[in-house]
Amino acid sequence: MEFRRTHYTSHVTPEMNGQTVKLAGWVHEIRDLGGIMFLVLRDREGMAQITLFKKTIDPEVLKTAKALSRESVVLVEGDVKAEAKAPGGYELVPIKIDLLNPAKSPLPMDTTGKVDAELDTRLDNRFMDVRRPRTQAVFHIRHHMLSAVREFLEQEGFIEINTPKVVATATEGGTALFPITYFDTEAFLNQSPQLFKQLMMSGGMDKVFEIGPIFRAEEHDTRRHLNEATSIDIEASFMDHEDVMVILENLVVYVYEKVAERAVPSLKTLGIELTIPTAPFKRLTYDEAIEVNNENSKEFLEWGDDLSTNAEKVIGKFIGEHYFITDWPTEIKPYYTQPYEDKPTVTKAFDMMHPRMELSSGAQRVHDHDMLHKRIQDQGLNPDGFEFYLKAFRYGIPPHSGWGLGAERLLMTMLDVDNIRDVVLFPRDRKRVSP
Ligand code: ATP
Ligand code: MG
């Protein structure tokens, strides 16, 4: 049986009226209305209506059509007929239907969107959930988002690197690590490429980026945390925190623009009209952020407190668009962020925020070996475990800065998706490691 892609038509238009084409896909819907039968064929580009006029159709074709089950894979050869009422503006009058692989009934979930499935059911049957046009659209947009990220960073002179995910030391200390057995010793899944991308600054690569998994063992149960997330990370030499903030805001704008331009059908499927943010984003100092919170919330924050989820929401609502929070108290940011020379209680760290949540954290980094050593110690960590990292600071490392941007958070806020699990194919959370 013929099934190779090169032998059939991938894109049919109403202008092809009268031509004979071959289409392959899944049987999305079957409607038998007495004198006429409709099959809706679905592929990743959309839907095509197959119309069988029972009086004139070849009885063999009708017999095959009648025996079809939903979600079976078929190849249909037929004549294109322009038909304004059909999806795509045409229908196909079949000459031949080949059943390539039948689907069993009942299906584990509905693919037409007529019956709402619970998130858990959809995730348990993700292969089938992805057949739903809405789900498929999300992942097409994710593809466009990541390809725009790569494109932008490459244009800015960044080189893509890959760093290990199995590591011997925590990036930031603390307990939020997944331990693994590594031969006869213990290792961990890396929570961030931070230390490795900094090593490449000592390596003279100047501007690097990585798009890869980060593992966080916190027992979150929120709509914006995963235990395995995708981080878009950059690190750049001879740049300060303000330089990399400009790269970050321009990247966000670029990604929105390219998605709006290139993912038109997917955005339409989701019913989304993207509002492209404008750069530069507002900059609030941490002090100003605290003030906004304290004037607009019942929850009072003191200088030195981290921003709670509620504070992020209150400040986000007040600002109403993407913004930065800069100049954080040194003590609540990691040891590798660079304090201001004239005011060491404040550090050159920033968060980039969407009104709903944090999207990115970044900073100028400490590049002085002795200061870094001391800061690791001051945070209660053992510098011995960081020797592989500290070593690179003894032999010439330029001043440098960088950030990490959560890919899922960028996507979920762009598409106004409520739950982060909806923008990951196979989410990993406290309760889910399979599929
Ligand atoms: P939060 O305070 O929101 O939990 P964080 O400050 O712990 O985030 P960072 O260590 O600053 O996170 O990581 C940089 C970015 O990576 C975050 O701004 C976020 O976009 C993303 N990120 C971090 N942890 C997670 C997670 N568990 N799930 C999804 N994305 C995450
Ligand atoms: Mg952060």
Task: Tell me which residue of 419, 426, 415 sits closest to 123, measured CA to CA.
Answer: 426
Q: Which CATH superfamily is domain 5-101 in?
A: Nucleic acid-binding proteins (2.40.50.140)
- Burial label for 367, CB within 10 Å (0-12, 13-18, 19+), is buried
Task: For the sheet with 178-182, list strands across it.
Answer: 166-167, 185-189, 178-182
Q: CA angle at residue 18 from 12 to 20, to 5 degrees?
A: 60
Q: Which residue has the higher pLDDT, 175 or 183?
A: 183
Would the CA dihedral through 83, 86, 90, 93 be positive or negative? negative
Q: Are 211 and 230 in contact (CB under 8 A)?
A: yes
Q: What is the pLDDT of residue 114?
A: 86
Q: Do the domains spanning 5-101 and 129-281+321-423 agree at the CATH topology level?
A: no
pLDDT bucket at 176, cuts 50 / 70 / 90: confident
- Burial label for 104, CB within 10 Å (0-12, 13-18, 19+), is exposed
Catalytic pick from 140, 224, 421, 428? 224
pLDDT tens-digit profile of 71-126?
Answer: 999 999 999 999 999 989 999 999 999 999 999 999 999 998 888 899 999 999 99
Q: Are 366 and 372 in contact (CB under 8 A)?
A: yes
Q: Which residue has the higher pLDDT, 7 or 245?
A: 245
Atom index in ligand 1 nearest the CA of residue 216 equals 27
Does the active-site annotation cover 216?
Answer: yes
pLDDT tens-digit profile of 217-230?
Answer: 999 899 999 999 99
Catalytic pick from 28, 131, 225, 367? 225
Helix residue ranges, H only, 156-208:
194-202
Helix H or strand E segment including 394: none
216 CA from centroid of ligand 2 (Å):
12
330 CA from centroid of ligand 2 (Å):
13
Q: Where are the domains of the chain?
A: 5-101, 129-281+321-423
Which residue owns the Cα nearest ligand 1 atom 21?
406
pLDDT tens-digit profile of 209-219?
Answer: 999 999 999 99
Least confident of 1-10, 69-78, 185-194, 304-313: 1-10
Which residue owns the Cα nearest ligand 1 atom 26?
225
Least confident of 6-20, 204-218, 269-283, 285-299: 6-20
User: What single-letter amino acid sits at 195?
Assistant: L
Q: Give the pLDDT mean for 23-39.
A: 95
pLDDT tens-digit profile of 123-156?
Answer: 999 999 999 999 999 999 999 999 999 999 999 9
pLDDT tens-digit profile of 308-318?
Answer: 999 999 999 99
pLDDT tens-digit profile of 360-397?
Answer: 999 999 999 999 999 999 989 999 999 999 999 999 99
b/e per residue 215-228 (b: at least 16 CB within 10 A): bbbeeeeeebbbbb
Atom index in ligand 1 nearest the CA of residue 352 equals 18
- Burial label for 105, CB within 10 Å (0-12, 13-18, 19+), is exposed
Q: What is the pLDDT of residue 174?
A: 63
Q: What is the pLDDT of residue 6?
A: 66
Q: Is 197 in the pocket of ligand 1 (CB under 6 A)?
A: no
Does the active-site annotation cover 361?
Answer: yes
Does the active-site annotation cover 430?
Answer: no
Does the active-site annotation cover 223?
Answer: no
Q: Could you tell me which CATH class the domain 129-281+321-423 is placed in?
A: alpha beta
Alpha-carbon span 88 to 17, nearest angstrom: 12
